[in-house]
Amino acid sequence: MTVKRVVIDSSVALKWKLRDEETLPQADALLEDVLAGRLSLVVPTLFDYEIANALKTAVAKGRITSPEAQEALDDFRQYLIERIEFPPLQDAAFQLALKHQRSVYDSAYIALAQSLGLWFFTGDKRLFNAVGGALDSMKWIGDYQFDSIPEGAASS
């Protein structure tokens, strides 16, 4: 079976656990495709830091409980997500951050997607609105449809 690959950022993955977010059906569909083995996810290693920090913030704001956050961390460790080290992406991420006036954190996902020739899904509306029009590979999670992902973004 051919498995399609995409880059996601933490804003997409957090929708799987923070159920007061928008575009939940599309984020859930993406996760279902991952769990079914049809889709493979790739992220820079900073993804794990962002997930942990966002869950801590969600607990502090009363969006979820501490046990729910711990369970979410456990779940994220179980998902098959390929993590790519940041140093090879650093220069490209820095240049993209300067060009688009975004954080290096956000730009690391863009740089990773560009380096691998993959689509990049985000649930960060500010990021998408600021950069999405300039990058064909950046996609809004609200528009997620498995069948629209090009076959070129696949591995056997």
CB 48 within 8 A of CB 84: no
Reported in sequence order, the residue ranges of the chain that DSSP labels E, i.e. its strands, are 3-8, 39-44, 81-84, 119-122, 138-140, 154-155
* Residues whose CB falls within 8 Å of the CB of residue 44, separated by 6 or more in sequence, listed in order: 83, 84, 85, 86, 89, 108, 109, 112
pLDDT of residue 156: 43
Cα 45 to Cα 36, 64, 149: the distances in Å are 24, 24, 23
Q: What is the pLDDT of residues 55-105, one digit of tens each?
A: 999 999 999 999 999 999 999 999 999 999 999 999 999 999 999 999 999
Confidence of residue 155 (pLDDT cuts 50, 70, 90): low
Q: What is the pLDDT of residues 13-36, one digit of tens each?
A: 999 999 999 999 999 999 999 999
Q: Could you say which DSSP state residue 153 is in? A: S
Per the listing, tokens 């300067």 go with 98
Asked if the model's pLDDT at residue 130 lies above 90, the reply is yes
6 Rama class: left (phi>0) / alpha (psi -120 to 50) / beta: beta
CATH architecture assignment, domain 3-155? 3-Layer(aba) Sandwich (3.40)
Please provide residue 6's backbone torsions phi and psi, each rounded to the nearest 5 degrees. -140, 160
- The domain locations on the chain are 3-155
